[in-house]
């Protein structure tokens, strides 16, 4: 899985599943903050977003949980790991 390639070729939605406080401290440009514990309540919103979802968090643990949860509902998800890794991959596409 090459996140940079997915970002450039598939135009996915980038979901950040960290808390709003963590998200406000830094995030991937254009990403959408939906905390892990809010995923179930925000299903209608998620259905309107482009797929696949590249999901990120601080370390990759919560994004892995989010991918596992959302894939049960037939969402196409990729665990991007740390938001800083996804941010770096996105900057590679801008150069």
Give the pLDDT score at 95: 58
pLDDT at 17 over 90: yes
Give the pLDDT score at 92: 84
Supply 95's token pair: 């150069």
Cβ proximity of 34 and 51 under 8 Å:
no
**Bigger pLDDT: 34 vs 93:** 34
Give the pLDDT score at 30: 94
Count of residues in the chain: 95
Q: For 1-95, where are the alpha helices, taking DSSP H only?
A: 3-10, 20-24, 43-47, 61-71, 83-94
The predicted model gives 56-76 an average pLDDT of 97
Q: Which of 12-16, 20-24, 87-91 has the lowest mean pLDDT?
A: 87-91
CA 7 to chain centre: 11
> How is domain 3-94 classified at the architecture level of CATH?
3-Layer(aba) Sandwich (3.40)
Q: Sketch the domain layout of the chain as residue ranges.
A: 3-94
Give the residue from 11, 16, 8, 9 showing the smallest Cα distance to 79: 16
């Amino acid at each position: 899985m090459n996140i940079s390639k997915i970002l450039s070729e598939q135009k996915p939605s980038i979901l950040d599943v960290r808390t709003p406080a963590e998200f406000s401290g830094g995030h991937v440009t254009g990403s959408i903050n939906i905390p892990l514990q809010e995923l179930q309540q925000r299903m209608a919103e998620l259905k309107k977003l482009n797929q696949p979802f590249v999901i990120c968090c601080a370390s990759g643990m919560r994004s892995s949980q989010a991918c596992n949860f959302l894939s049960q509902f037939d969402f196409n998800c990729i665990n991007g790991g740390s938001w800083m890794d996804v941010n770096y991959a996105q900057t590679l596409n801008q150069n």
